[in-house]
């Protein structure tokens, strides 16, 4: 395998391992939020922010930890036949089926980018042109001009009403990391087919 592919696989593995090892501690933040929710409902006035914060933390835990789970092989597989196959045959099947996952993640990423643009006040047109315009305005004219370009920012319809763009930004980051990890797994499968372990 070319050295650039080896470097890509090692770099993506290291990055997703680092992010995944940090992300796994979000479970303690989730436990803390839910514990406070129980305490506040029992002894004080119920907190408005706890349930939605728990949902946001769970999204970050799941989406940012997904690439690490793929890397570790911890994802769920239906292995009725797969478990008895040789390493090379498994690599052929994985290299084929990962193409469907890449397509799905590409569609998911496009939807996440469009949803993030909507949450920042862009209701019509192409989301990529909106983000490019926002970036160039920020660079040339500053943060105040970029903020004017954003428009009405989407908020959650609950009584707490937090902005939703942070969780949508985490979604974009997580899907991008997943796509990069899946591509690394594709290269790893191609290496196994050729008899090279990456």
Q: Is the pLDDT of residue 120 over 80?
A: yes
List of residues 6+ apart from 163 with CB closer than 8 A: 119, 153, 154, 155, 156
Helical pair 127-141 and 143-150, crossing angle rounded to 10 deg: 150
User: How many alpha carbons lie under 13 Å from residue 71 in its C-beta half-sphere?
Assistant: 25
Whether 58 maps to a domain, the answer reads: yes
Convert the pLDDT of each residue in 43-56 to its tens digit. Answer: 888 888 988 999 99
Mean pLDDT score, 175-187: 96
Mean pLDDT score, 154-159: 87
List of residues 6+ apart from 127 with CB closer than 8 A: 113, 114, 116, 117, 118
Whether 128 maps to a domain, the answer reads: yes
Mean pLDDT score, 59-75: 92
What's the pTM value of the predicted model, to 2 decimals?
0.87
| 3-state SS assignment for residue 163 | strand
To the nearest whole percent, how much of the chain has pLDDT over 90? Answer: 61
The answer to whether 184 and 13 are in contact (CB under 8 A) is yes
Whether 9 maps to a domain, the answer reads: yes
- Looking at residue 77, what is its pLDDT? 72
Of the ranges 27-41, 102-116, 139-153, which one carries the lowest mean pLDDT score? 139-153
- Looking at residue 62, what is its pLDDT? 93
- H/E stretch holding 143 reads helix 143-150
Q: Is the pLDDT of residue 18 over 80?
A: yes
How does DSSP classify residue 44? S
Whether 119 maps to a domain, the answer reads: yes
3-state helix, strand, coil in the chain (%, to 5): 75, 0, 25
- Report d(CA 93, CA 20) in Å as an integer: 26
- Looking at residue 123, what is its pLDDT? 78
- Report d(CA 90, CA 96) in Å as an integer: 10
Query: What range defines the domain where residue 29 resides?
Result: 3-193
Categorize the per-residue pLDDT at 195 as very low, low, confident or very high, splitting at 50, 70 and 90: confident
- Looking at residue 174, what is its pLDDT? 96
The secondary structure of 70-133, three-state, reads HHHCCCCCCCCCHHHCCHHHHHHHHHHHHHHHHHHHHHHHHHHHHHHHHHCCCCCCCHHHHHHH
- Looking at residue 144, what is its pLDDT? 86
Categorize the per-residue pLDDT at 143 as very low, low, confident or very high, splitting at 50, 70 and 90: confident
Q: Give how many domains the chain has, as a whole number.
A: 1
Report the 10 Å Cβ neighbour count for 13.
19
Whether 101 maps to a domain, the answer reads: yes
- Looking at residue 151, what is its pLDDT? 76
Whether 198 maps to a domain, the answer reads: no
- Looking at residue 196, what is its pLDDT? 86
């Amino acid at each position: 395998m070319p050295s650039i592919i080896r470097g890509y696989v090692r770099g993506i593995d290291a990055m997703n391992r680092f992010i995944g090892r940090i992300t796994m501690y979000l479970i303690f933040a989730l436990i803390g939020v839910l514990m406070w929710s129980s305490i506040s409902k029992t002894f004080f006035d119920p907190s408005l922010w706890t349930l939605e914060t728990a949902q946001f933390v769970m999204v970050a835990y799941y989406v940012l930890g997904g690439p690490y789970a793929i890397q570790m092989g911890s994802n769920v597989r239906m292995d009725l036949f797969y478990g008895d196959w040789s390493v090379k045959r498994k690599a052929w099947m994985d290299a084929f089926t990962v193409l469907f996952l890449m397509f799905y993640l590409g569609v998911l990423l496009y939807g996440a980018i469009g949803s993030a643009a909507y949450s920042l006040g862009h209701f019509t047109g192409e989301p990529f042109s909106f983000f490019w315009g926002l970036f160039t305005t920020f660079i040339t004219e500053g943060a105040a001009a970029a903020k004017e370009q954003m428009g009405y920012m989407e908020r959650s319809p609950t009584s707490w009403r937090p902005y939703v763009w942070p969780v949508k930004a985490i979604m974009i980051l997580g899907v991008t990391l997943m796509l990069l990890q899946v591509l690394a797994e594709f290269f790893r499968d191609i290496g196994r087919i050729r008899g090279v372990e990456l």
